[in-house]
Amino acid sequence: MTNNREDYLKVIFKLNESGNKVNNKLIAQHLNVAPASVSEMLKKLSKEGLIVIHNYNIDLTDKAISITKDILSKHRLWETFLLTKMNYKWQDVHEQAEKLEHVTDESLKSKLNEFLNFPKCCPHGSIIYENQESEIDEIISMDLLKVKEKAKIIRVHSDRDLLSYLDRLGLNINSEFKVVERDLFDNSMKIEFMDKEIVISFKALSAIYVIKI
């Protein structure tokens, strides 16, 4: 399978996982390609039995889901390796893992997984399907929290700007905090974390996932 095909499968998988109805326009936006190119690739994926298109909604077949989970596991294992063994920052591992996932066969993935002691999640909190099949049921986006509720960060989008932003604030996976205030003007959130108060922008809140504690 080509790298390009794998990238399409990952985008469709992640969009479906986040609850979106997947269509050509959404895929084009996420891959930053022309809609015509998306249409052409979708025809190929459909003929190969990897997607099903019904009422303009695109779903992966069981075969494609299995392939995609394998790709994502490779990606997230490399992110874990780069962070824990090569001292990369968590905002820098995604780009390198994108390259390494495409050249990793099953034997290398298995040895890498064993070397890392079978981690359940990557540095950004996304599960590694090889070692954990499903997400924690109680996980919600941070913007759904109410004042006075306490929570722990479980997962964040692997967006470089977001990760750098959280790094500057001192927040990471497993950081625990209490919601102090919600600004009525810009919907930003003030939290209490490590005996200090921090303001989180509204833009970041929907890309941070937590569990209540």
At 35-90, the pLDDT tens digits run: 999 999 999 999 999 999 988 889 999 999 999 999 999 999 999 999 999 999 99
In angstroms, the CA 198 to CA 207 distance is 17
Q: What is the pLDDT of residue 19?
A: 76
What is the DSSP secondary structure assignment for residue 142, as one 8-state letter?
A: G
Given a contact cutoff of 8 angstroms between Cβ atoms, the answer to whether 211 and 154 are in contact is yes
Structure pTM?
0.84
Beta-bridge mates of residue 24: none
Of 68, 46, 44, nearest to 57 by C-alpha is 46
- Is pLDDT at 20 greater than 90 in this prediction? no
Mean pLDDT over the full length of the chain:
93
Among the residue ranges 14-23, 50-59, 66-75, 147-156, the one predicted with the least confidence is 14-23
Q: What is the per-residue pLDDT across 129-144, written as a single tens digit (0 to 9) for each? A: 989 877 666 889 999 9
Q: How far is CA 158 from CA 74, 76, 114, 201, in A?
A: 15, 11, 24, 17
Q: What is the pLDDT of residue 136?
A: 65
